[in-house]
Structure 1
């Protein structure tokens, strides 16, 4: 027996989190959530931290969950606090990351009655949540305790697959404690179910595969999965099958086409010959906008493999949505699959890829100092067996032009593709995995937007941040449209002359800078050296913002003329 909060509902929650293996919990400071602090921190059974900025706290928790594969509760007070969690909740929803929001609330009778820090919290994440429940104020009977137990167990179980929200109203007293009195209950478990397709379905799919002469597989964002890669190997080595991946697919294979946009530039003049008649997709988001446009114009059949969002029709030709895990599908589909070479379609794509590599290397050898050149130098400096976090907008797009590093894990917030939590997510991942080096490459606007990520006493020294500073949102000079307006600099690029130097000084972050290729080569070697304050190190690289788009367009023109 030990002292805990007087709130029986919180005691039930604590026991449920422990039974389901939750280890890390992130708090945001407040008062209404005091029973949760007293009950959870007071138990001494969890690794708990408190971060003052709610938006950053939620993305920090997201980074831990990305790295560990376990739900990480993020807990806040009532009012607007939980609205600040919304960007991270949406990212978890579309990226399918384990995530659990627990919000304190005012009692129902005080909603919309002018009480402080009181808003309509129930259902606030309705558009991007897997499960949500607003519990009664406090269980007073055995039946109400059963209700709490049942709902909490359901929520914690479902949080393993995606975001879940538990909203708990609390009456005062909030800080009172007592000896724990609840009776222990058995857990409710939702076991993982292995799904199989019928023999008839597998036979039909194999027949369609056999009939298709030009087959293409695209793998989107996913964690590294050796079993998936092993099973995919039979299709990777099929000369009729082109397998396209991105670095966020975390697949490195000599037969794969790793840089989609780079290869598409090579085949532009004869692209009709590279269109598939059968497309199979695995994984999550694909960065390349060009491959989406390329395939949407084709006449093809598309099989989407995966349990999440089965009706997502990215390429406008969905004919089969197969709601089983990629590994389960490949185990069935490839078992005894006969491979006969008839078209050499996969070889054709790979030969274009080889040509693109040669032109890519020749182009970069002549390139002046710019964003693309910086990405080349950064790419070559990433330590082996480390984690590389890619910021959104131009950074993640530049990264797709370089072959993935074999012993590096790639991560990026491509669920919603927002810039709002790039730094915090990488910081959370580094915190969860202190044995690995974690490098975040991020643009200046993304960094400044999430600079409160450095307002964090739990940052770890295995985190390195590289800010590519081109004086604004360089992506808007690259994509077509903004450059045709008179508002380009002020309303799209958002030009500025700020630096990260004094932000780093405020938060005790070692600061380095570079404004040329020579300085970058020198300071990137310094970047990974140990530091005395056991905090992260940041390298800010200043590039000429008004010419980066010209160099990138010239790069693609060179490939296209090759």
Structure 2
């Protein structure tokens, strides 16, 4: 046994737990043995074993989304670490505190042609807030002090305005086995976690919010509490145009506009007195185009040091949580906005009713999604794949229960299954995903197969199978008929019943013309087949009919 190695890794793993990292997803490998065993020996650390590093990192992202706490991932040396890149980049853009631990060859085996060795130092430099290369374990007291210093520095990025991924690259020499007899070093002593709160000078925004006819745009706020924003809206009669990922559509607040995407595809000339943008950018292209074109003064409210200004650089950026901001401005004297809020409530109701009628008479992926939304309960998570599922959610999630989530940092199709499974470890999840995206992360399903019966994930997976990349039918590429199907349509012709059998899921199949029912129990893959051409026509029909309806009402 190597006492110096044992002291280092046990001290490191203890520090992880002390700073709030209570879950770790481990991908098996030799060089990562010391840390893997230390995590397994820790009396309170929850470990998950995932053989696919790419899916493992997204699984950790799902755990974070469900708990709002940092989660660690661990892999061996070499290309194993390269597979973390998609999830690390998603977490960086989404401000998720993923703790990336890559074990490495010792320094003397780097860049000399040794097996399973690549340059891992700084390999995520574009996508992490903090990174350190650790020293080889020895008996020097300075080594443990180094760990203390690094963990204190890294903890700055586990919460607050600079929250995001951190990377620890840790080299080990053989022998790799720690001494389990010393596990008493792992005694739990949690550190005090400081919550992020901030005040600002309200006078800087008085000149803007004292105007009439303001609008709040609630974007992607998957990890934020927006209670004070709702209170401000009620007092000041300010409408809130809510993205599906704002987590407030299901609240049925009278000032929350749930049909913004549909509205701004038709009504492009609405002129507000000011715009307050909260969180990251909305899903809707139509709303983003409206924000970009507006001459109204704009305030951007985000709890991050570096603002995400898309789709337009605001007049004022305030680094603060939404709750802290609206708590402080709610006391300002309200202006007369009764007619303004009534206008928004009226057109929102018109669009909701029209979408309800459309979903009952037209059969496509959108109406199938609508049927699924009707069956969700208040605390259910509906996880959306990128491309069409999140866009259909934006259109059809108008007055339902449930909480929509999605990986909208980098908007990729990587790891969607695994992220949803990670959330399903802690919450009841319905995943709605396209056939291409589902295929891209089918490996992730192994986590449920490997789980014991008492730890099966609370998940049902709805695969919208239009046999190809449905989103491209809505883009200019669709007009190039000679190349479209081969380059963009990309039909896979996969039998997803075989996937269900391989990973021990139950299987049900529907067509969009069927009455679609979600099983009460978890553990199902539900395939819904549709036609890409018919989906496109149905979406176009919805928009054309809505234009007629709104023009008649207004």
TM-score normalised by structure 1 residue count: 0.90
Alpha-carbon distance in structure 2 between the residues aligned to 1:496 and 1:220: 34
Alpha-carbon distance in structure 2 between the residues aligned to 1:186 and 1:555: 58
Residue 72 in structure 1 maps to residue 71 in structure 2:
yes
Alpha-carbon distance in structure 1 between the residues aligned to 2:298 and 2:4: 54
Alpha-carbon distance in structure 2 between the residues aligned to 1:493 and 1:309: 40
- Residue number in structure 2 paired with 1:235: 233
Instruction: Report SS of the residue matched to 1:491.
Output: helix
Change (3 A) 1:505 1:142: same
Instruction: Give the conservation status (yes or no) of the 8 Å contact 1:220–1:284.
Output: yes
Please, which moves more after superposition, 162-171 or 310-319?
310-319
* Post-superposition offset of 1:282: 0.9
Alpha-carbon distance in structure 1 between the residues aligned to 2:45 and 2:3: 14
Please, which moves more after superposition, 168-177 or 479-488?
479-488
Which whole-Å deviations, capped at 9, do the CAs of 1:126-145 have from their partners, x for residues lacking one? 11111111111114311232
Alpha-carbon distance in structure 1 between the residues aligned to 2:107 and 2:176: 16
Which whole-Å deviations, capped at 9, do the CAs of 1:442-475 have from their partners, x for residues lacking one? 1111101010111121372421111010111100
Change (3 A) 1:407 1:357: closer
Please, which moves more after superposition, 387-396 or 3-12?
3-12
- Residue number in structure 1 paired with 2:542: 555
Change (3 A) 1:287 1:236: farther
Determine which of 324, 342, 349 is the counterpart of 1:347.
342
Which whole-Å deviations, capped at 9, do the CAs of 1:22-56 have from their partners, x for residues lacking one? 32211001111011112221334322121111111
Residue 91 in structure 1 maps to residue 90 in structure 2:
yes
- Residue number in structure 2 paired with 1:477: 473
- Residue number in structure 1 paired with 2:18: 19
Instruction: Give the conservation status (yes or no) of the 8 Å contact 1:238–1:346.
Output: no
TM-score normalised by structure 2 residue count: 0.91
Please, which moves more after superposition, 387-396 or 148-157?
148-157
Change (3 A) 1:324 1:125: same
* Post-superposition offset of 1:348: 2.5
Instruction: Report SS of the residue matched to 1:127.
Output: coil
Residue 192 in structure 1 maps to residue 195 in structure 2:
yes
* Post-superposition offset of 1:256: 1.3
Matches within 5 A, 1:139-288: 139-160=138-159, 161-177=163-179, 179-180=181-182, 191-198=194-201, 202-210=202-210, 212-223=211-222, 228-236=226-234, 238-239=236-237, 241-251=238-248, 252=251, 253-267=253-267, 271-272=268-269, 274-288=270-284
Instruction: Give the conservation status (yes or no) of the 8 Å contact 1:420–1:449.
Output: yes
- Residue number in structure 1 paired with 2:372: 378
Residue 338 in structure 1 maps to residue 333 in structure 2:
yes
Determine which of 422, 428, 440 is the counterpart of 2:422.
428
Residue 357 in structure 1 maps to residue 359 in structure 2:
no
List alignment gaps of at least 5 residues for structure 1. 531-535
Change (3 A) 1:245 1:496: same
Instruction: Report SS of the residue matched to 1:133.
Output: strand
* Post-superposition offset of 1:354: 1.9
Alpha-carbon distance in structure 2 between the residues aligned to 1:481 and 1:297: 26
Please, which moves more after superposition, 542-551 or 458-467?
458-467
Residue 451 in structure 1 maps to residue 442 in structure 2:
yes
Which whole-Å deviations, capped at 9, do the CAs of 1:399-426 have from their partners, x for residues lacking one? 1112445542221111111111111011
Determine which of 484, 490, 493 is the counterpart of 1:488.
484
Alpha-carbon distance in structure 1 between the residues aligned to 2:254 and 2:235: 9
Change (3 A) 1:449 1:4: farther
Instruction: Give the conservation status (yes or no) of the 8 Å contact 1:236–1:256.
Output: no
Instruction: Report SS of the residue matched to 2:395.
Output: coil
Instruction: Report SS of the residue matched to 2:126.
Output: helix
Change (3 A) 1:473 1:309: farther
Change (3 A) 1:416 1:547: same
Q: CA RMSD in A?
A: 2.5
List alignment gaps of at least 5 residues for structure 2. 550-554
* Post-superposition offset of 1:213: 3.0
Alpha-carbon distance in structure 2 between the residues aligned to 1:341 and 1:394: 40
Paired residues, number:
537
Determine which of 395, 411, 431 is the counterpart of 2:389.
395
Alpha-carbon distance in structure 1 between the residues aligned to 2:338 and 2:395: 28
- Residue number in structure 2 paired with 1:533: none
Alpha-carbon distance in structure 2 between the residues aligned to 1:184 and 1:480: 60
- Residue number in structure 1 paired with 2:552: none
Alpha-carbon distance in structure 2 between the residues aligned to 1:183 and 1:262: 55
Residue 33 in structure 1 maps to residue 32 in structure 2:
yes
Instruction: Give the conservation status (yes or no) of the 8 Å contact 2:280–2:302.
Output: no
Change (3 A) 1:543 1:237: farther
Alpha-carbon distance in structure 2 between the residues aligned to 1:321 and 1:142: 45
- Residue number in structure 2 paired with 1:302: 298
